Amino acid sequence: MITDQGLVLACSAIGAGIAMIAGIGPGVGQGIAAGFGASAVGRNPGAKGNIMSTMLLGQAVAETTGLYGFAVAIILLFANPLIGKL
Amino acid sequence: MGTVFANPGIVMLSQSVNIGVDGYLKYEVFGQEVWITTTHIAMWLITLAILIFAVIANRVIKKADPYKAPKGFLNVIELMVETVDNLTRTNMGEKHGYKFSNYIGTIFIFILLANLGGLFGLRAPTADYGVTLALGLMTFCIIHYNGFKYQKMSHITNLFKPAILTPINIIGEIATPLSMSLRLFGNILSGTVLLGLVYGLLPKVLLIVIPSFLHAYLDVFSGAIQTYVFCMLTMVFISNTFDEE
C-alpha cells in the first residue's frame, strides 16, 4: 500500500533525476568553448593567458543553466515544498 | 543538534550521509527562530584566520626596509598585492583599476578560503545560499553606486532606451546578483553533496585514498576557478559602468 507521503517523495526523487538532465546543455556548451579555446591557442600561442581567462569566464556563464537545474533537484530532495501541500 | 532542513525526506538518509546545514544553538530574535549553524562557525574560523594573517602581515610590512630586496614572507605578501593590482588594472583600465583592488582582493581571499573550507573538515560556507546571496548583493550595490557616480541620471534612462525592451532590461539588472550568487552556490554545493555521498558510501578503509582525488578536483580546482570567475564577473560588471559617458 502506497501512502500519500510516500508517493510524493517517490515522485520528487524522480523529478529531481529528470531535473538533472539540464546538465547536458552546459556539458556540450563547455566542450565547444574549450574546443575553440584550444584551436585559438594553436593559432596564437602567445595569447594563451587571455584566451584561458576568456574561455573560463564563458564556460562559467554557460554553466548557469545547469546549476538552475541542480538547484531545482536539491530543493526537491532536501527542502521539498510539495510535502507541505498534503 | 537539530537539522535545519526539517523534512521527512532526509531523515532516512541523514544517518550515514551528512550534507545539510546543521544547527547548533537556537535563539530568538523578534519572535523568529534563529540558529547558529555550521556556516557561522566555519565563517568565524575563516575570519579568524584572515585576521591573524593580516596582523602578521602588518607587523612584517611595518618592519620592512624599503632599500633592500624583499625576502621570505614579505615577498609572498608583495606577490599577492601585485597580482591583485595587475588583475584589476588589466580588467578595469589604468584609470579606475587601483580603486577597486581593495574590494576585489578582499572578496578573492574570503571566497577562496571559504571554498577551500571543505579540505579542513568544515562545511564550506559558500555552500549556504545566505553567504553567496550576500556577496552577490554587495556586488550589486557597488555596480549601481558606480553607475550613478559615472553616468549620473542616464544610468536610469538607459534602462528605457529601446522602449520595448524595458522589462527585459530591468529583469536583466535584477538577475545579475541572483545568477552570480547561484553560480557560486551551485558549484560549491554540488561538490559538497558529491563528497558527502562518497563519504557515506565507501567503507572505512577506502576513505583515505579515493576522496583525496575528488577533494583535489571539487574543492581546490573548482573552488579556485569559481573564485576567479566571481571576481572577474564583478570587475566586468563594474567596468561596464565606466565606458558610457
Q: What distance in Å separates the CA atoms of residue B221 and residue B215, rounded to the nearest whole number? A: 9
Q: Is residue B70 part of a domain?
A: no
Q: Is residue B163 part of a domain?
A: yes
Tell me what pLDDT residue B29 has.
80
Is a pLDDT exceeding 70 seen at residue B5?
no
B232 with B245: CB under 8 angstroms?
no
B109 with B227: CB under 8 angstroms?
no
Tell me what pLDDT residue B154 has.
83
pLDDT band at B1 (very low <50, low <70, confident <90, very high): very low
Q: Is residue B71 part of a domain?
A: no
Tell me what pLDDT residue B114 has.
92
Identify the CATH class of A22-78: mainly alpha
A60: chain B residues, CB-CB within 8 Å: 183, 225-226, 229, 233
A74: chain B residues, CB-CB within 8 Å: 189, 193
Low-confidence residues of chain A, pLDDT below 50?
none
B194 lies within 8 A of chain A by CB: no
**Domain map of chain A by residue range?**
22-78
Is a pLDDT exceeding 60 seen at residue B218?
yes
A67: chain B residues, CB-CB within 8 Å: 182-183, 185-187, 190
Our CA-based measurement puts residue B5 at a distance from the nearest CA of chain A, in whole angstroms, of: 6
Our CA-based measurement puts residue B64 at a distance from the nearest CA of chain A, in whole angstroms, of: 33
pLDDT band at B11 (very low <50, low <70, confident <90, very high): very low
Distance of CA A67 to the CA centre of its chain: 4
ipTM above 0.85, yes or no: no
Predicted structure pTM score = 0.84
Q: Is residue B41 part of a domain?
A: no
- When divided into structural domains, chain B yields a total of 1
Average pLDDT value for chain B? 84
User: CA–CA distance from B51 to each of A10, B45, B165 (Å)?
Assistant: 47, 10, 47
A77 lies within 8 A of chain B by CB: yes
**% of chain B surpassing 90 pLDDT:** 28
Task: Give the lowest-confidence range in B102-106, B117-121, B216-220.
Answer: B117-121
Tell me what pLDDT residue B12 has.
44
pLDDT band at B22 (very low <50, low <70, confident <90, very high): confident
pLDDT band at B210 (very low <50, low <70, confident <90, very high): confident
Burial of B144: CB neighbours in 10 Å, binned 0-12, 13-18, 19+: middle
The three-class DSSP label of residue A25 is helix
Q: Which domain holds residue B178?
A: 81-242
Q: Is residue B9 part of a domain?
A: no
Tell me what pLDDT residue B16 has.
63
Q: Is residue B177 part of a domain?
A: yes
